[in-house]
Structure 1
Amino acid sequence: MRLKSAIWVSAYVRRCNIEGVFAAVRRRGAEEAGAIFIKVSRLDGTATLYGPAPQTAFDDDRPGDRAFIVCVGRDAPAPEADCEAYLVKEMKFDPDVWIIETEDRAGRNFLDLVTG
């Protein structure tokens, strides 16, 4: 069983704060199972945006875990405007999304990432 989005978001924000990274919930989504997007601002006008990994990225050993992929800024941090444009499209497609914004010059994200 997957952890509710609201609980996962709360734990993630707390983890960021413990690590000395500012994190805030910018948009609250569906409590139970809203998709979660995390924007990591580098405080220089660039950012990386992370979103939910596709279901094909999960295996039978960890079916309830949350994993993320880079949505914007895969090779290098992208202009923040590119991340914002992506988020606007997501909000139009799914009004139940969560958006968390963090600020860290080093770009730390504390996420389980799916690469490939």
Structure 2
Amino acid sequence: MTPRLTADFWVRAYLARLRLADIPAYVIARGDATAGAVIVKCARLDGTALALHRSFDLASGRRAWVVLADGPEPQVDALLARQRARDPDLWLIEIEQREGRTLLDEPGLAD
């Protein structure tokens, strides 16, 4: 079994990858450094946003990024506020990328 990275380490590595791709990113909420879940919100700069979270694909048994919300940014923000209220250990990262590119499908981030 491959050891899992701490949430803090993963977030720092993700932010570095985004910086290298010239994608602005912000940590909106810091969660538990060791085991906090991570949600990535992508603001498309057109009034819409996409929120992704890590989950397990039951068919393959592998971890995968899945859509939590997709639509008008105020509705996505409201959902994220409710998620954060329920889980104070949750990390929220916001990126700004017109095409919705998150890099989460790239090696090292996808799984």
Q: TM-score, normalised by structure 2?
A: 0.85
Separation of aligned partners in 1, 2:77 and 2:92: 11
- The answer to whether structure 1 residue 84 and structure 2 residue 74 are counterparts is no
Percent identity over paired residues? 40
Separation of aligned partners in 2, 1:84 and 1:72: 9
Runs of 4 or more consecutive aligned structure 1 residues displaced over 3 Å after TM superposition: 54-58
**Offset, 1:67:** 2.8
Give the letter aligned to residue 80 of structure 1. Answer: E
**What are the equivalent positions in structure 2 for 1:19-34 lying under 5 Å apart?**
19-34=21-36
The counterpart of 1:68, out of the listed 65, 68, 78, is: 65
Larger RCO of the pair (alpha carbons < 8 Å, separation 6+): 1
- The answer to whether structure 1 residue 44 and structure 2 residue 37 are counterparts is no
Q: TM-score, normalised by structure 1?
A: 0.82
The 8 Å contact of residues 23 and 97 in structure 2, kept in 1 or not, is answered as yes
Give the gaps of 5 or more residues in structure 1: none
Give the gaps of 5 or more residues in structure 2: none
The 8 Å contact of residues 57 and 64 in structure 2, kept in 1 or not, is answered as no
The counterpart of 1:100, out of the listed 75, 90, 93, is: 93
**Offset, 1:57:** 6.1
Separation of aligned partners in 1, 2:29 and 2:59: 26
From the two aligned structures, give the one with the greater strand fraction.
Answer: 2
Aligned residues: 105
